[in-house]
Amino acid sequence: MKKIIHISTPLSDATIKKLRAGNNVRISGIVYTARDAAHKKLTELLEKKTQLPFDLNGQLIYYVGPTPAKPGQVTGSAGPTTSSRMNKFAPLLLSFGLKGMIGKGEMDSGVTEALKKYCGVYFTATGGAAALIAHCITKMELLAYPELGPEAIYRLTVEDFPCFVAQDCYGGNIYMNRIKYQI
């Protein structure tokens, strides 16, 4: 079994530079949620030079729309959504200090170049493991855009959130380079 790398948010360039495509990672700290509609709102605010609902510097965005929590739970299922829908938004967010994203599936060459230029990282979480992932979320707070329902922006506190480095800051890509997950 390969080594698991434990990291905490906010992410620094030094931490990101140690990560390589295929690394098995556990994330602890604060992670923000955002999907398509929230990304559109964030990019509109950036283009207008208006303050965002949270500071992007060093942060991670998880592409997820958590389901409602059952009694006694922090959240319901919280599995990753397809990341390619955020391809058009990710480079701009990275240019304003975002350090990474978590989702499923490959992101495009524009994102790859932005990860290299701004020292960022893209993690993939296992689709179909939404209930398991939800157990890693210890706190969930609505932050912005409640009108979007589960696609609103939430501030999550996570502990040992399981994922893999899918695309690193050097251009490494588990989808393109046939890098094996290091399990």
pLDDT at 132 over 80: no
Domain boundaries, the chain: 4-167
Tokens coding 40:
């559109």
pLDDT at 182 over 70: no
User: 24-79, pLDDT tens digit by residue?
Assistant: 999 999 999 999 999 999 999 999 999 999 999 999 999 998 878 888 888 877 87
pTM: 0.92
* pLDDT score of 133: 81
Percent of residues, the chain, with pLDDT higher than 90: 77
Catalytic center residues: 39
* pLDDT score of 178: 58
Distance CA 91, CA 46 (A): 12
Q: In 61-85, which positions are buried (b, 16+ CB within 10 angstroms) versus exposed (e)? A: bbbbbbeeeeeeebbebbbbbebee
Residue 122 near residue 115, CB atoms below 8 Å: yes
7 band by pLDDT with thresholds 50, 70 and 90: very high
Which of 117-121, 130-134, 179-183 has the least mean pLDDT?
Answer: 179-183
Q: Which fold has domain 4-167?
A: fumarase (3.20.130)
pLDDT at 6 over 80: yes
pLDDT at 103 over 50: yes
Intra-chain end-to-end CA distance of the chain, in Å: 6
* pLDDT score of 22: 93
* pLDDT score of 183: 46
